[in-house]
Structure 1
């Protein structure tokens, strides 16, 4: 399967990413770009986006980018740095970039931006199973 087919198959059953309102902007082997808009129900008690929102967007970008090679992959270690706050109506974009790909592991960085401003940096490691994506 090609990367777009894999991500479409994953997204059909990914109800959380659908709830977030994620749009897949681009997908190629080892990279993925996603976007979404912050909604009122995503805000915390400070009226800014809950940290889990940017984390979730980055996690979805990691999942799609790491599975784009055709082998089913799952995250085993992730971390995020929150740099800027986000408010209702802000549109953010996550770009996942593959840093290294080994037989059993993949290493990725995801940069989340609002316009030209970096709002969060995410790092993820995935385990690459032997199971292939099939049509």
Structure 2
């Protein structure tokens, strides 16, 4: 299995991403764009979205894009910069693009946007295993 089929399979098995309301907007080998809306139960004590929400969206986009090559890819290091506060009702789009891939490692950058505004910037490194995604 290769390409955009893998993120759809991953999402179908990912209860947390489903709870977040993540939807796949676009996907191809090496790139994945996801969207979701901030809900009331995602707000922190200051009435802004908890930082873990945008992190989870970016991390999911990162994981989906990294696996589109057909082999299991697992996160080994990630980081995020939160640039803007997010509020209930905000619709976020995270786009993950593989910047570099070699035999064992993949390096991704994920931009999280509210409309055209950059609200978070995520970077991640994956370890690319030899285990292949199967059609089952």
TM-score, length-scaled by structure 1: 0.98
Local SS of the residue matching 1:3? coil
The answer (yes or no) to whether the contact 2:2–2:133 under 8 Å persists in 1 is no
Indicate the RMSD between aligned Cα atoms, in angstroms.
0.6
Q: Which runs of 4+ in 1 moved over 3 A?
A: none
Structure 1 stretches of 5 or more lacking a match?
Answer: none
Query: Matched residues in 1 for 2:101 and 2:4: separation?
Result: 19
Count of aligned positions:
135
Structure 2 stretches of 5 or more lacking a match?
Answer: none
Query: Counterpart in 1 of 2:71?
Result: 71
Query: Counterpart in 2 of 1:115?
Result: 115
Query: Matched residues in 2 for 1:4 and 1:15: separation?
Result: 19
Q: Deviations over 1:65-114 (max 9, x none)?
A: 00000010010000000000000000010000111001000000000000
Query: Matched residues in 2 for 1:3 and 1:54: separation?
Result: 24
Query: Counterpart in 2 of 1:129?
Result: 129
TM-score, length-scaled by structure 2: 0.98
